[in-house]
Amino acid sequence: MKSFLKIWLTILLSLIIVLILFQILTPKNDLLKASLNLNYFPFFPQSHLKMAQTLFKNNYEKEAKIELQTAKDLYLKVSWFDFTKKTKAEIEKTAILLNQSEKIRKEISNLEIILRTKPQYRDLNLKLSLLNFQLKNDTAALSWWEKAFYQDPNNKEVQTVGKIVKLKN
């Protein structure tokens, strides 16, 4: 009976050790996971696509564009293997996402120029707040919202945008 208990305790302890090692050795953040995936499968367009999406989420847009282009190039070589065209759709969606961020940055730049000459425009502050929020620039979004709030704290639009921006912070 004691030997049976010893065996079960040994097995249980071994499982606990394996689980702890698994927790320690598995990557925690998305960037590391995508990087490992890319190292294991460098010739798969899906690996480069996942890396591009992860880089974009972490505000590495230039690197994301390079990875997206690599994914497109690889996809052209293996597109015959994509029966469901799921990878193609993901590549197109990611390309649109990357292009939108460029347009948003240009619009932010133009609005900031206008605000330098006419800083009293509350709606421009709100627009800048929402555009920065779309780019995940949370501190800039909050800063622009605070300027709009200072100009007109009782406005419903200002309060609505404030709920959106503050929800993230």
> CA 45, CA 33: separation in Å to the nearest integer?
16
Where exactly are the structural domains of the chain?
41-102, 118-169
> CA 108, CA 86: separation in Å to the nearest integer?
33
pTM of the model: 0.59
The rounded mean pLDDT for the chain is 86
Q: Render pLDDT for 16-63 as a digit per residue (tens, 0 to 9).
A: 887 777 666 665 688 888 888 888 888 999 999 999 988 888 878 889
Q: Are 111 and 128 in contact (CB under 8 A)?
A: yes
pLDDT for 1 equals 62
Residue 156, pLDDT > 60, answer yes
pLDDT for 16 equals 84
Grouping H, G, I as helix, E, B as strand and the rest as coil, residue 153 is: coil
